[in-house]
Structure 1
Amino acid sequence: MIELQIFLEVLPGKEEKLKITFRDIFVPAVSIQQGFISVHLLKYGNAMRCYQIQLRFETEQMRLAWVASDEHQDSFPRLAELCSSVSWQGFELVN
């Protein structure tokens, strides 16, 4: 199983738009992908505009297929444009 953690620093005043875009555009796009397991949007405790997406797929190949999909090419840039910074880290779950 693969977990991708995407770190987002949201532009001032764009937090609500990020939440709506995640719920209404990103989640429907990713959840139809083969191998999709789960996705969550987290907000760091006291940090004003710091969010994290936790995304799980069955395999790295399935995650890469999602990245190459039309749905990703449409939905992820809509999230990214609301952010001043986007970075990510991938993990293989071992237990």
Structure 2
Amino acid sequence: MFVLHVELKVKSGAQADLEKTFVQNFYPAISEQGGFLTAQLLHSTDDASTYRLCLSFDKRDSQQRWVATDLHQQVWPLVEDLCENYAVSGYTAI
């Protein structure tokens, strides 16, 4: 299994918009992808502007195919535009 963690630093006042975008746009789009297993948007209890997007796929190739889709190119900018910055880390489950 391949797991991707995206640490999101959300723009001030954009928390509700990020959560709405995840539920209404991002999750429905990613959940249709081959090899997709699960996605969670976690909100930090220590910092109101920090979120973590956790994505799981059967393998890294499936995640890479998702990134290459036109649908990803439509929905990811909706998330990205609400953030000051973000950092991506990939993991293989043991």
Bin of the TM-score, shorter chain as denominator length = over 0.9
Bigger shift: residues 27-36 or 43-52: 43-52
Query: 1:37 corresponds to which residue?
Result: 37
Residue 67 of structure 2 aligns with an amino acid whose one-letter code is V
Aligned-CA RMSD value: 0.5
Alignment gaps of 5+ in structure 2: none
- C-alpha distance in 2 between matches for 1:11 and 1:33: 28
Kindly report structure 1 stretches of 4+ aligned residues shifted beyond 3 Å.
none
1:37 partner amino acid: L
Q: TM-score, normalised by structure 1?
A: 0.97
Query: For residues 60 and 42 of structure 1, what CA distance do their matches in structure 2 show?
Result: 22
User: TM-score when scaled to structure 2?
Assistant: 0.98
CA distance in 1 between counterparts of 2:13 and 2:44 reads 17
3-state DSSP class of the match of 2:73?
A: helix
Three-state SS of the structure 1 residue aligned to 2:46 is coil
Report the CA distance between 1:46 and its aligned residue. Answer: 2.0
